[in-house]
Amino acid sequence: MTMHLGDDAPDFTADTTRGVINFYDWLGDSWGVLFSHPGDFTPVCTTELGTVARLKGEFDRRNTKVIGLSVDSVESHEKWEHDIGETQGTEVNFPMIADTDHKVSVLYDMIHPNASETSTIRSVFVISPDKKISLNLTYPLATGRNFPEILRAIDSLRLTAAEPVATPADWRPGDDVIIGLGVSDSDAAQHFPGYRTIKPYLRFTQDPTA
């Protein structure tokens, strides 16, 4: 099952390091990040889990819950978490799914035969509060994920879900934003006074949340 932006995020019930969870119930009205790992005790993912643990306050500030996944068992995850705490200087403070039967991996199309017949590729899914796939990234095994960039993308997703705007390249919160093409000039003048027009299709205004 190939996942596309705007698709419903598949619901599931799974065993995790925080007990059995139903994904939708666990998410509640939060945004969510589901990110997968090819297996426990892998070097790049060890650094990633430590990074996400250190950034948990940033995810919390964005009303975003984070959950990891690999095809190994809860017992294996817990042993790996001990190593992560030892080597990364922080405890893993979010749940890890034990997808031993590959149920979640198949639902989210996270096993690609060209990479491995049995292990999950390194995917990231950002899921909106209405349980839609809002962002999907796939990284190769040797390239660590950039979680500050994922936080930046979540900032953009949250803003553009609430306002009729888009964010330009390299945008960060507080930077000017682009007025959406569906907003007429008269509506733009009412909702975004002082906006500036570069081209009829390229109109900038201040970040409405700044």
For residue 177, the tally of other CB atoms under 10 A from its CB is 27
Report, at the CATH architecture level, how domain 13-146 is classified: 3-Layer(aba) Sandwich (3.40)
Domain ranges of the chain: 13-146, 163-205
Asked if residues 59 and 148 have their Cβ atoms less than 8 Å apart, the reply is no
pLDDT of 1 reads 60
* Topology (CATH) of 163-205: Antioxidant, Horf6; Chain A, domain 2 (3.30.1020)
Residues of the chain with pLDDT under 50: 114-118
pLDDT of 117 reads 46
pLDDT of 119 reads 55
pLDDT of 115 reads 47
Asked if residues 35 and 42 have their Cβ atoms less than 8 Å apart, the reply is no
Residue positions annotated with a catalytic role: 45
Q: What is the pTM of this model?
A: 0.93
